Amino acid sequence: MRVCRVVNGEDARYGLADDSVVTLISDEPFAAWEREEDVSLRTARLLAPVVPSKIVCVGINYRKHAEEMGHALPDEPVIFLKPSTAINSPGGTIQLPQPSMRVDYEGELAVVIGRRARHVRPEEAAHHILGYTCANDVTARDLQRKDGQWTRAKSFDGFSPLGPWVETDLDPSDLGIVTRLNGEVVQSGRTSDMIFDVPTLVSFISGVMTLLPGDVVLTGTPSGIGPMHSGDVVEVEIEGVGSLTNPVAPAL
């Protein structure tokens, strides 16, 4: 299934997308739900597919990205948070914030939690995962370096595009992940190159904090990070999921 969220009149509704239709569902995808009316996928306005209480991100989880950042390989996952207010929709504008002179794309596989997870073992992780979507861990690289910790650099409104939907029937262990800037490939990796795989990450994070239905784990970016400028269009495509496209605009 592809679980999405769409604008429906005054409301946001969860639905199931196929190639042409979104079937609205009666409740959140984590609860018991029933199929309701169909709307056209072509005219539907997609929102980020979930509303997380938190976005837990993993830094330095691909070997080549560790090299390009000049970091040693971590011996356990390095995690940080983005606020839920950073969430951006498929097609939503990434606004370049005034204090930064360098804002980078980071294409990433996002894990969406489906069942509450606390002290989960790696072999139990799949039971707590709803599915997978595309993410862009937008980063103000200059502020990340200047501040010495990452909160400001990672947390501007709109810095967490997510979507287009959550693919629930997918093995995340070896998926192609490609980022394009204005149509040109700038990152190309495979999730099999992760230092810590998805079950390990969910297990590790669940030993720190309770993961709630709808929470999102960004699993780190492959090598090839670089800046975006006003007028650019950035796309993150993941094999078996789809693609997430966002335009970039100057600060208001």
Which part of the chain contacts Mg ion (CB under 5 A), choosing from 45-53, 91-99, 192-200, 214-222?
214-222
Q: How far is the CB of 114 from Mg ion (least distance, A)?
A: 22
- Which of 16, 248 has the CB closer to Mg ion? 248
Report the DSSP pairing between strands 107-113 and 216-218: antiparallel
Binding map of Mg ion across residues 83-112, x = CB under 5 A, - = no contact = -----------------------x------
First vs last C-alpha separation in the chain = 38
- When the beta carbons of 44 and 216 are compared against Mg ion, the nearer one is 216
What's the Cα-to-Cα distance from 140 to each of 20, 40, 89, 101, 248, rounded to whole Å? 37, 37, 19, 8, 13
Q: Which two tokens stand for residue 94?
A: 């990434």
Q: How far is CA 114 from CA 29, 107, 169, 251, in A?
A: 8, 22, 13, 35
Q: Which helix or strand (DSSP H or E) is residue 199 part of?
A: helix 198-206
Nearest residue (CB) to Mg ion, 137 versus 167:
137
In total, the chain counts a number of residues equal to 252
Among 100, 155, 219, 221, binds Mg ion (CB under 5 A): 221
Q: How many Å apart are CA 242 and CA 3, to the nearest integer? A: 12
Site for Mg ion contains 215 (CB under 5 A)? no
Nearer to Mg ion by Cβ, of 106 and 197: the residue is 106
Q: Does 133 bind Mg ion (CB under 5 A)?
A: no
Q: Which stretch binds Mg ion (CB under 5 A): 5-13, 39-47, 130-138, 235-243?
A: 130-138
CA distance 204 to 99: 34
Complex with Mg ion: residue 30 or 204, whichever CB lies closer: 204
Stretch that binds Mg ion, among 79-87, 173-181, 186-194, 219-227 (CB under 5 A): 219-227
Which residues in this chain contact Mg ion in the complex, by CB under 5 A?
Answer: 106, 137, 221
